Structure 1
Amino acid sequence: MDKTRIVVGVDGSPQATAAVGWAATEAVRRHAELRVLTAFYRRRSSPDSHSAEERAGDILRRAVAHAREVAPEVEVKCQALPGYAVPILIHAAEEAALLVVGGRHEGGLPGLPIGSVSSQVATQARSSVVVVRGRHGADAGPVVAGLDDSPAAATVAGHAFEEAALHNAEVEALTVGGVKAPDPLGADLDAQLDPWREKYPDVRAHRAYVSGRTDKVLIQRSRSACLMVVGPRTHGYQGLMLGAIGSRLLQRSGCPVLIAR
């Protein structure tokens, strides 16, 4: 069986540095290999081609140094590839347990509009994706799982329990409904957590139902969480990674966001 791999995309920004630190720590927790990737332009017959590759190499060296500073025992490999960031990262994610990127910022990896790498990767990658932002590295607070009545709920719950076990945290299974709306799932969803409680007996978990606007509730809860876990296209969140709710969460979450697959 292949060794577990975590891939992190870097571009030299502070957000990418935060992503490297988070990914390195997670790699140690999972006994995984860390692979650091960056993308660069290679224009034919351009005097800037060599310097672009040199800049990419410098970005990688600094990223690897930071990973080893954060987690000296981590097994880390790096690679600079010519091309556009999103297809490179999505291809790398096919052989990874996790793909990690930094949050939105002014700038970014080559070939994309400002801030679009994290949102496009979160939408398209086949692996689970973590967008690192907010209180990264914070050990205090629960792992919050955004759950609804879609088939993806079991996947979200499973990832939440796994991450809670790795981070020595509790799980808060959160469902959001309309203002003053009754809990549509009730005991049925709570019972769906039982298999994960059995698999992770040391993880404390509780269920919460909150009335309100979904994006506002999730963002507010993220401020006291160590990780937010959501599904890619749960119909209860109206296409989380495709619509306004997902965009707001990736832009404003107070902690890293894991899109579970």
Structure 2
Amino acid sequence: MIKTRVVVGVDGSAGSAAAVRWAAEEARMRQAELRVLIARHRRESFALDARQADADADTSTVQTAVQQARAVAPGVSVRGVALPGYAVPVLVHAAEEAALVVLGSHGGRSFFGQAHGSVCSQVATQAQCCVVVVRGGEVPADGPIVVGVNDDPDASTIIGRAFEEAAMRGAPLIAVTVRDGGSSTAEEALGTEIDLQLDPWREKYPQVRATREVIGGKPDKVLLQQCRQAQLVVAGARQQGALLGPVGTRLLQRAECPVLIARA
């Protein structure tokens, strides 16, 4: 079954508003429906009037987000839902029927008592679909799609997703591989290896202008630098056997553009 739903988690913050705008535009490009979702753990110890106040606040937050989405993408089918429960399991469950889950990123504590960075990283590693964390800052509309390429077993999935996003946006793609020292001969050999990974996707998406770069340094710092010019950076859900890994974690925390955690 082809999944044609984009899910965006909201909490009434400026960060989630940026995520709603991004998700609405993504749904428009994908010709998908948009599901606006809020989750709150309702403690039974709360007085009835307090629980009702929480429910009313959630309804208002969802309605506002739905209006924001419709303003960005008038032709997209948008539905808002407020559900009881903790944010992570609710969003992970919603991901089972989605092509993409979108979350906002901001400082402080959010999603009603849960550390927001924790919610983003947990959903990114547990969801069965791709997850995008929107950083909220201005990004160049004509910027490239940046993808980090290494010898990870999931490299083909990550590269393919980056090409798909670039084709959908009419954007160029930059495949970045980070090296730690080595001779110019070794760098040339590494570049050839990257081209072999890219070539099948170049054939599938001939409209995408794809280039590759081999850059010396630390992977997280190099990719964060590349993010300054990008409209989207694509990373893998697993790196070197670790869930998300240090590079993906740093991207979620510091990237200046939206970060897409790719799934097969």
Q: Extract unaligned runs of 5+ from structure 2.
A: none
Aligned amino acid, residue 232 of structure 2: L
Alpha carbons of 1:3 and 1:231: their partners in 2 closer, same or farther (altered >3 Å)? closer
Which stretch shifts more, 29-38 or 109-118? 109-118
Deviation at 1:134, TM superposition (A): 4.7
What percentage of aligned pairs have identical amino acids? 53
Which stretch shifts more, 183-192 or 156-165? 183-192
Matched, 1:196 2:198: no
What TM-score results when the alignment is normalised by the length of structure 2? 0.92
2: CA distance, partners of 1:138 / 1:38: 29
Aligned amino acid, residue 79 of structure 1: V
Aligned counterpart for 1:228 among listed residues 227, 233, 243: 233
Could you tell me whether the CA contact under 8 Å between 2:134 and 2:259 is conserved in 1?
yes
Aligned amino acid, residue 171 of structure 2: A
Could you tell me whether the CA contact under 8 Å between 1:149 and 1:185 is conserved in 2?
no
Could you tell me whether the CA contact under 8 Å between 2:5 and 2:34 is conserved in 1?
yes
Aligned amino acid, residue 214 of structure 1: P
Give 3-state SS (helix, strand or coil) of 2:7's partner.
Answer: strand
> What aligned pairs does 1:74-89 form with structure 2 within 5 A after superposition?
74-89=76-91
Partner in structure 1 of residue 58 of structure 2 = 56
Partner in structure 2 of residue 29 of structure 1 = 29
Deviation at 1:196, TM superposition (A): 1.2
The number of aligned residues is 258
Alpha carbons of 1:171 and 1:118: their partners in 2 closer, same or farther (altered >3 Å)? same
Partner in structure 2 of residue 102 of structure 1 = 104
Partner in structure 1 of residue 171 of structure 2 = 169
Deviation at 1:41, TM superposition (A): 2.9
Could you tell me whether the CA contact under 8 Å between 1:123 and 1:242 is conserved in 2?
no
Which stretch shifts more, 185-194 or 148-157? 185-194
Matched, 1:185 2:186: no
Partner in structure 1 of residue 128 of structure 2 = 126
Q: Extract unaligned runs of 5+ from structure 1.
A: none
Could you tell me whether the CA contact under 8 Å between 1:152 and 1:231 is conserved in 2?
yes
Matched, 1:239 2:242: yes
1: CA distance, partners of 2:90 / 2:66: 19
Partner in structure 1 of residue 256 of structure 2 = 254
2: CA distance, partners of 1:112 / 1:137: 28
Partner in structure 2 of residue 41 of structure 1 = 41
